[in-house]
């Protein structure tokens, strides 16, 4: 069972502080949506408003066509997995999962069936009689997910559920979450500040920053067609480099103090180049062979990742830049080389940080 979630002009204030300002968002049934943004941008707050743990100051939230922001948390048909897991320490694993079902008066046989089934799926059947204190972090995590599954909710809410796991386990659990989503086909909202989690799990990513939604889109959309400078810099590792722009035409960009580079920039009409920047991802910048001329780049750090090499340095004396080179790169720190850019993958942002329409590949 899965349902659409509709967030309509939702606002949240703490006293004089507005944390979320007029947020609207529609999530289709069965969609896996990730709220991504820096710490403190209000991701948890928005999730908790859907769960009913925070009051909604203005606007409405609908789930499966029913208005839920006026209902008690337990009445909304959502299940939540907390970052801390929030298992009941004095109850066994089985009891942890059964407790919510007992509260709604579900008959014992059905409770047992659901708990057994969830435990089997999550491979925690051998742990059912243990207390949470006797479980590893990964096992607790599974129990927390199990407690959500048995409720057969219309939507699952996850608040940074992987952040307490070590790196290896996080990767595995991420994969399992993706599989779980496929199997259940349920609507899921997942909050994280980790872009890898967002990119790998999401059908759509909602990038949040400073009380607002910056952009909503598929991971590829967000990565290749960032609508704002914030999104461009927040997503992608290493972060996108920003080059100061002096002037633009449809075929080229003049980098302030350095010269022109080729660029394919359709839809430039009305674009104000004053204070604009040109965003370049490391993989779209490359070291040119000795016989080609480009912009001068002085390498300060060479980071060898095996399959590729990242060169950190300065473009002329103007700005920092990261350039990707091959794994067998011969570059050394201190060297000055010529760099070129992929004209089809450049991102132009105006002084307010808005992307020039039709940019990028």
Partner 1 sequence: MAKTYAPTDLIANRRLYWIAAGLAVVMMAPVLWIIGLSIKDNAELMRGTQQVFSAPYTVVNYLNILKSSNVFGWFLNSLIVALGQTVGVLILSSLAGYAFARLEFPFRRTLFVIVLFGLAVPEQVVIIARHQMFNWFGLHNTHIALILPGLSSAFGVFLMAQFFRAIPRDIDEAALLDNTPPFRIFWRVLMPLTLPAQATLGIFTFLLAWNDYWWPLISATKKEMFTLTIGIASSQTNFAQSEGLGFLSAQAVFAALPIVVVYIFFQRHIVTAVSGGAVK
* Nearer to partner 1 (CB atom), residue 110 or residue 251: 110
Interaction partner, residue 41 (Mg ion, partner 1, ligand ADP, none; CB < 5-8 Å by kind): ligand ADP
Of positions 2, 10, 33, 42, contacts ligand ADP by CB under 6 A: 42
Closer CB to Mg ion, 44 or 228, in the complex = 44
Q: Inter-axis angle of helices 108-121 and 137-149, to 10 degrees? A: 140
Q: Phi-psi region for residue 269, left (φ > 0), alpha (ψ -120 to 50) or beta?
A: beta
HSE-CB of 36 using CA atoms within 13 angstroms: 30
Task: Tell me the CA end-to-end span of the chain in Å, nearest whole number.
Answer: 37
By a kind-dependent CB cut-off of 5 to 8 A, residue 228 interacts, out of partner 1, ligand ADP, Mg ion, none, with none
Asked if residue 139 binds ligand ADP (CB under 6 A), the reply is: no
Selection from 344, 360, 356 nearest residue 267 by Cα: 356
Options 19, 121, 128, 276; binder of ligand ADP; rule CB under 6 A: 19
- Among 99, 212, 273, 354, indicate the residue that binds partner 1 (CB under 8 A): 99
In the complex, minimum distance from the CB of residue 104 to partner 1, in angstroms, rounded to a whole number: 5
Q: Indicate which of ligand ADP, partner 1, Mg ion, none lies near residue 19 (CB less than 5 to 8 Å, by partner kind).
A: ligand ADP
CB of 17 to Mg ion, least distance (A): 16
Candidates 52, 146, 226, 360; binder of partner 1 (CB under 8 A) is: 52
The residue from 43, 142, 181, 286 that contacts ligand ADP (CB under 6 A) is: 43
Task: For residue 105, give Cα distances in angstroms to 1, 67, 72, 98, 146.
Answer: 20, 24, 17, 11, 19
Residue 75 interacts with, from ligand ADP, partner 1, Mg ion, none (CB under 5-8 Å by kind): partner 1
Sheet containing 32-36, strands listed edge to edge, beginning at the edge strand earlier in sequence: 78-81, 155-159, 187-192, 32-36, 204-209, 212-217
**Within positions 110 to 149, which residues make up the interface with partner 1, using CB under 8 A?**
133, 147
Spatial distance between the Cα atoms of 117 and 94, rounded to a whole number of angstroms = 11
Query: How is residue 156 written in tokens?
Result: 């699952």
Task: Give the binding range for partner 1 (CB under 8 A) out of 21-29, 56-64, 85-93, 245-253.
Answer: 85-93
74 binds ligand ADP (CB under 6 A): no
Among Mg ion, ligand ADP, partner 1, none, the one that 356 touches (CB under a kind-dependent 5 to 8 A) is none
CA distances 247 to 85, 212, 241, 272, Å, are 52, 30, 18, 9
- Distance between CA 32 and CA 16 in Å, rounded? 33
- Least Å distance, CB 143 to ligand ADP, is 23
- Find the binder of ligand ADP among 23, 25, 41, 310 (CB under 6 A): 41
Regarding beta strands 285-287 and 277-280, do their DSSP bridges make them parallel or antiparallel, or are they unpaired? Answer: unpaired
Sorted by sequence, the CB contacts under 8 Å of residue 352 that are 6+ apart come out as none
Structure tokens belonging to residue 151: 């409720």
Torsion of CA 111, 164, 232, 358, to 10 degrees: -20
Candidates 13, 90, 126, 134; binder of partner 1 (CB under 8 A) is: 90
Using rule CB under 8 A, residue 72 touches partner 1: yes
Question: Where on the chain is the footprint of partner 1 (CB under 8 A)?
Answer: 51-53, 72-75, 78-80, 82-84, 86-90, 99-100, 103-104, 133, 147
Question: Where on the chain is the footprint of ligand ADP (CB under 6 A)?
Answer: 14, 19, 37, 39-45
């Amino acid at each position: 069972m899965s349902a659409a979630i509709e967030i309509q002009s939702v606002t949240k204030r703490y006293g004089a502080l507005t944390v979320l300002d007029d947020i609207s968002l529609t999530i289709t049934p069965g969609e896996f949506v990730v709220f991504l943004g820096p710490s403190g941008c209000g991701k948890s707050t928005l999730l908790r408003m859907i769960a009913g743990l925070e009051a909604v100051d203005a606007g409405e939230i609908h789930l499966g066509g029913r208005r839920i922001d006026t209902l008690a948390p337990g009445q909304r048909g959502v299940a939540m997995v907390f970052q801390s897991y929030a298992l009941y320490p004095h109850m066994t694993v089985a009891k942890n999962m059964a407790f919510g079902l007992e509260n709604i008066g579900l008959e014992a046989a059905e409770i047992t069936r659901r708990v057994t089934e969830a435990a089997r799926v999550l491979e925690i059947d051998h742990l059912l009689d243990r207390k949470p204190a006797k479980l590893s972090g990964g096992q607790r995590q599974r129990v927390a997910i199990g407690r959500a599954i048995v409720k057969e909710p219309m939507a699952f809410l996850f608040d940074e559920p992987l952040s307490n796991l070590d790196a290896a386990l996080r990767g595995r659990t991420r994969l399992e979450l993706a599989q779980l989503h496929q199997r259940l086909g349920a609507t899921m909202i997942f909050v994280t500040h980790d872009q890898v989690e967002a990119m790998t799990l999401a059908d759509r990513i909602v990038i949040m920053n400073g009380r607002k939604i910056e952009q909503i889109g598929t991971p590829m959309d967000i990565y290749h067609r960032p609508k704002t400078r914030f999104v461009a810099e927040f997503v992608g590792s290493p972060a996108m480099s920003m080059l100061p722009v002096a002037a633009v035409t449809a075929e080229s960009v003049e980098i302030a103090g350095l010269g022109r580079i080729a660029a394919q920039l359709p839809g430039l009409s009305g674009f104000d180049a004053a204070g604009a920047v040109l965003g370049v991802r490391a993989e779209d910048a490359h070291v040119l062979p000795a016989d080609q001329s480009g912009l001068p780049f002085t390498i300060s750090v060479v980071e060898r990742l095996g399959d590729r090499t990242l060169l950190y340095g300065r473009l002329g004396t103007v700005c920092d830049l990261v350039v990707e080179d091959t794994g067998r790169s011969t570059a050394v720190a201190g060297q000055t080389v010529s760099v070129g850019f992929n004209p089809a993958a450049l991102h132009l942002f105006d002084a307010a940080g808005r992307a020039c329409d039709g940019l990028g590949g």
